[in-house]
Chain A
Amino acid sequence: MATIAQPLPGTRIEQPKPGLQIGKYFRWSVDHKIIGVQYLALAFTFFIVGGTLAMGIRWELLTPATDLMASGTAYNQLFTMHGTIMIFLWIIPALAGFGNYLVPLMLGAKDMAFPWLNALAFWMIPPAGILLILGYFAGQAEAGWTAYPPLSILYSPGNGQTMWAVAIHLLGLSSILGGINFIVTIRNMRPEGMGWFDMPLFVWAVLATSIIIVLATPFLAGALTLLILDRVAGTSFFNPANGGSVLLWQNVFWFYSHPAVYIMVVPAFGMLSEMLSIHSRKPIFGYRAIALSSLAIALLGFLVWAHHMFTSLTPALRVPFMITSMIIAVPTGIKIFSWIATTWGGRIRLNSAMLFSLGFLSMFVIGGISGVMVAAIPFDIHVHDTYFVVSHFHFVLYGGTVLAIYGGIYHWFPKITGYMLNERLGKWHFWLTWVPFFFTFFPMHMAGMLGMPRRVAVYAPEFQALNQVISISAFVLGLSTFILIYNIVWSLWKRKVVAGPNPWRALTLEWNTSSPPPAFNFYGDPVPFRDPYGYGTKEAWDYLKEQAQELGPSYPANQPPEKAHPVALAPAAGD
C-alpha cells in the first residue's frame, strides 16, 4: 500500500501542520493566486474600517441632534469616508480578488495574461487607501462620495478633498489595468475545447464587468482631473461664477458611477451562478440567457446614468432615462428567475455558501423592486436623495454583493487554503447577518418616504423610533462580521478539517487541482468537462470519480482514497 502523503480528508490531524507562509502575501508577487488573496485580505481590512465608520454613523443617528460628532461637518466626513471606502476599497477590490484568483483557474490557465501588470494594479491600492485615510489629518473630504461641486471645490477647504480625488484617481487606474488584464486573459487563455459558451458564468460576469471598467473608468479619471485642477490650479470647469457648469460634473461622474454599480454587482451575479448550480447539484438554468443578460446589463448600464439626476436634469431629458432604467429590470429579472429555476428540482445542500446565495436572492429582489420604483420619475422626485435611496442601494450592494462575497468566501475558502471553514459558525454568521440586515435597511424605505433626507446628522424627532430600530439592528449586523473573522482565523490556526481538491464535487476547472493549487495551478494540462454545469449525468459522475482517483479524495470523505499521490505529480515551483 502506498504511503499517504496528504492527511485524510475529514480527519483530525495531530502531527505537525504545514506552515501557512503568511509572509509571501506581504511581498510583491506575480502569482495570480497570491494577488487574489492580497486583494481579498486588503479589501476585507477596509471593510472593517468602513464598517466601523458605519457604526459611528448609526450611533450618531440614535438621537435627532448631533451628539457623537462634534459638528455636522465631522458627520459629513464620516459618511464620505464610509461610502468611498466601501465602494472603492472593499467591494470593487474584493470582487477583483475573486476574479484574480478564479478566472485563470476556471480557464485552466497557468496565470493571468499579464502577471506583472496584475501585481502593479494591486500595489496601487495600498498607497491610495493610505492617502485617503491620511486625509483625516489634512481636513478630511466632506462632500460625500459623489463630491458634487461647488461644495467639493469652493466649500471644502481641507487638503483632504484633494487627497481624496487623487486616491480615487489611483484606484481607477488600478481598476482599468485589472480590467484590460481580465479581457485579454479571457479572450486568449481559454483551454482547447472551451468556446465562449462553455465558460463558467463567473468568467462571463468578469468579462462583462471588465468591459464596463475599461469603457467607463476613464470618464471618472477625466472628471477627477478637472476637479483636482479646479481645486489646486484655479481653473473653473465646475465653478459657475467663472463660466463653469455644476451639471457637467454630475453628467460625467454618473456616466462612470452608474456603470460602476454594475461593476459592483455583476461579478457577484457570476459567483451566485456558480454556487447555486453546484450546491443544488443541478445544471444552471438558461446558461445563455444568464451569460448574455450580463452583457445586456453592461451595455444598458451606459444609457441610464441621468436617473441619478432626476431632480437636477432639464425636465425634458428625464424621460429617455426613465425608459432605459426601467428596461434594466428585464435582464435582471431573467437572472433571478433562472437562478430560482436552477435550484428547483435540485438536491439542495443547505450549507453556508448556499444559505448566503439564497439570502442574496431573497434580499436582492427587494433592491430590484425598489429600483424599478425609483426609475419612475414622479415617485423618484419624492424619494430622491432620501433614506429610500440609501435603503435601495444597500439592498443591492449589501443584500446583493456582500452576501454573495460571504457565500463566495465559504465556497472558495477550501480551495484557497486547503481547509474547510466551520459550518456551524457559518450558519450562525448567516442568520445573524441576514435577519439584522433586513431590519437595518428595510425601515430606511419608510424613513425616506416619510420625509427624512440622506446625509443629515440632525433630523426631525418623529423619525427617532425608526432610526433606533435601524441603529440597533446595524450594531448586531456589525458584530456578526466577527463570526466570519473568528471562523477564518480559527480554521487557519487549527487547520483541522482538510478540504481536499474538490469538496463540493464541482465540475469547473478550479476544483480540478489540489487545494491550494500548486505554482502554475495544474498538474499538466487540465481537461475541462464538456459542460461546466453538467450535473446529473453519468459522464459527470464518472468525470468526478476519475478526478478523485487522480487527485485524491475530498471532504467529506465519501470513499477511502484508492490512490493518493498528488505531490509526486506536482511540478516544482518555477518549473
Chain B
Amino acid sequence: MNLPKVGSSSSSKGSGAINIFWIVLFGVFVVVGGVLIGQLAPSMMPVAGSTQAVQVDQLFQVMLVIGGIIFLLVEGLLVLTVILWRQRKGDESDGPPIHGHRTLELVWTIVPAITVLMLTLYAYTVWNNTRAVMPNEQQVGALGQRFAWTFTYDAGLDDLPPSVDVSTLPDAEMQAKLTGGERVEFQSPQLHTWVGQQVNVLMHTDDVNHAFWIPGMRIKQDLLAGLVTNIRFNPIVPGVYRIVCAELCGGGHGDMAGKVTDNGDLVGAWLIVHANEEDYLNEFYYPEIMSILYPPTDPVELGREVIQDYPCSGCHTLHDLGWTGVTGPALDGIGARTQRVAATGSADMADYIHNSIRNPSAYVVPGYNNVMLQFNPNEGQPNYMPDSDLEAIVAYLLTQTQ
C-alpha cells in the first residue's frame, strides 16, 4: 500500500531553510523597503500650500512607511509560501497538523493594536493642530450652488483704499451705509488671501449638499443644507489652487471645479494666495471695492463685470469669459437668437433675457432640464439680484451675438 507520509512536520524541504539568518534578512528587506516606499509620499500629493498640508503630508508619509512595511511583509510571505510550500510532484501528503501558536497569535494581535493606537494618537494631534485658531483671521463667506461657488467679502469705512474720499461717492446710499458704520459686501467666484493669513471659510448652501475642497490646502468641509459650516486654513505658498466640489450635487457636479481656458485664464472657483497683504489689497481687494464704489457707467461693461459675481459659469458656455459649463444652454450668441423672442411671447430680446433670469422655469430651452436658479429682485430673498445688476447683465448679454 502506497500510503503517503502523514503529519511529517520534519520535512526536509523548506522548514530546514528557515533559520534566524533568513528571518532577520527578510525583516531588514521589509523595513528598508517600507521606508523606501515612504519616500514616494511627496510625489503622490499636490504642492503643500498650507500649514495643514505640511502636517497631513507628514502623517501620510508615516502611514505610507507603516503601510509599505505591512504590504511587503504580507506580499513577501505570500510569495515565499508559494515558492517554499507548493506541492512537489508526486507528493500526495498533507501538511503538518499545526492548529495555532499562542505566542505568534499574541504578537500579531498586540503589535497591530499598539501600532494603530500610536497612529490614532498621532492623527489626533495632527487634527488638533490643523484646527488651531489664529488671531486676526480673515473671514470669507462661501455659497455653494448648483453649479458654482460664490465668495463674499466685506469692507467697512476703515478698509477702503486710502485714495477714496467717502464724501465724493457717486452712490448716496452706499455713502450713507459706510459712514453709518455698516459694511458693504461684494462677491467674487475666486477666494483670495495671502501668505501667512489664516482664512476662516463660512459656508452655506441654498440647494443641496456640496463639499468645499482645496486639494492644495488638504482641507475639505461639507456644505449642509440648513446649516452653516466652516473650516480654517493657513496658506504658506503663494500661487493658485483649484477649488473643487467633492459632494455629489447633480449633473454639473464636476463643473463646480475651477477651470483653465485654452489661453490660460482661470475661470470659476480658484484660491489665489497672494505673496503678502499688500499684493492682496492692490491686486484684488482695492480694485474690487473701487468697482462697487465707482461702477462703470457703460452698462455693457458693468454687466460683463457683475455677471461674473453670479454662479453662472458652472452651467453655461460663454467664450467671452471662458465659461465651459454644459448643464444649461450656451450663452454664446444668445443676443442673436431672435426666434426665441417669438417662441416665448416676449416683447423683445431684452425682455426674453430678463424673463429667463427672473423666472427661468417659464420657458425651458428644448433639450435642457428646468434646473436654473431663479434670481429675485428683493434683498432678503434667496438668489438676490438687484434690478441694476439685471439691467447691466441684459445689456451685456445682448452684445453676445456670436
What residues of chain A have their CB less than 8 Å away from a CB belonging to chain B?
66, 71-76, 142-144, 148-151, 154-155, 157, 240-241, 244-247, 280-289, 311-312, 315, 318-319, 322-323, 326-327, 329-330, 333-334, 336-338, 340-341, 343-350, 358, 361-362, 365-366, 368-370, 372-373, 376-379, 381-382, 384-386, 445-446, 449-451, 453-460, 533-538, 540-541, 558
Q: Looking at chain B, what size class is its interface with the partner chain?
A: 35 or more
Partner-A contacts on B (CB < 8 A): 3-4, 6-7, 9, 14-15, 44-46, 52, 55-56, 59-60, 63, 67, 70-71, 74-75, 77-78, 81-82, 85-88, 91-101, 104-105, 108-109, 112-113, 116-117, 119-120, 123-124, 126-127, 130-131, 146, 207-209, 211, 213, 215-216, 218-222, 224-227, 229, 242, 244-255, 257, 259, 326-327, 369, 371
Q: Let me know if A76 and B14 touch, CB within 8 A.
A: no
14 more contacts with CB within 8 A, not counting A284-B99, A311-B221, A381-B221, are: A72-B327, A76-B248, A148-B247, A151-B250, A281-B94, A311-B222, A312-B209, A326-B117, A330-B113, A333-B112, A336-B74, A378-B123, A385-B220, A458-B255
Partner of B94, one of A282, A322, A333: A282
Q: Is the CB of B82 within 8 A of A450?
A: no
B369 partner residues in chain A, CB cutoff 8 A: 73, 157
B119: chain A residues within 8 A (beta carbon): 326, 372, 376
Q: How many A-B residue pairs have CB under 8 A?
A: 296
Q: A245-B226, A282-B96, A345-B85 are in contact. Are A340 and B74 (CB under 8 A)?
A: yes
Asked if residues B220 and A311 are in contact (CB atoms below 8 Å), the reply is: yes
Most central of B75, B213, B242 by chain A CB within 10 Å: B213
A286 touches B77 (CB 8 A): no
Instruction: Give A71's nearest chain B residue, CB to CB.
Output: B251
Q: Do A247 and B224 touch across chains, with their CB atoms under 8 A apart?
A: yes
What would 14 A/B residue contacts be, using CB atoms closer than 8 Å? A71-B327, A72-B255, A73-B369, A76-B253, A144-B248, A148-B247, A151-B248, A241-B226, A362-B74, A362-B78, A384-B246, A455-B248, A533-B99, A537-B94
Closest CB-CB distance, A56 to chain B, in whole Å?
A: 16
Q: How far is the CB of A506 from chain B (nearest CB, A)?
A: 12
Cα distance, A149 to B221, chains bound together (Å): 17
Chain A residues with CB under 8 A of B52: 378
Given known pairs A72-B253, A241-B226, A460-B257, the reply for A381 and B220 (CB within 8 Å) is yes
A348 touches B250 (CB 8 A): no
Are the CB atoms of B94 and A373 closer together than 8 Å? no
Residue from B109, B127, B211 in contact with A385 in the complex, judged by beta carbons closer than 8 Å: B211
Instruction: Tell me if A344 and B77 are in contact (CB < 8 A).
Output: yes
Q: Known contacts A280-B95, A283-B98, A326-B119; decide if A315 and B208 are in contact (CB<8 Å).
A: no
Q: Contacts of B225 on A, CB cut-off 8 Å? A: 149-150, 240-241, 246
- Chain B proximity of A130: nearest CB distance (Å): 26
List the A side residues contacting B67 at CB < 8 Å. Answer: 369-370, 372-373
Closest beta carbon of chain B to A265's beta carbon, Å:
17
Instruction: Report the separation of the CA atoms of residues A483 and B309 in the bound assembly, to the nearest whole angstrom.
Output: 55
B78→A361 contact, CB < 8 A: yes
A341 to B104 Cα, complex, angstroms:
10
Residues of A within 8 A of B124 (CB): 319, 322, 377
Structural contact, B246 and A323, CB atoms closer than 8 A: no
Chain B residues with CB under 8 Å of A368's CB are 70
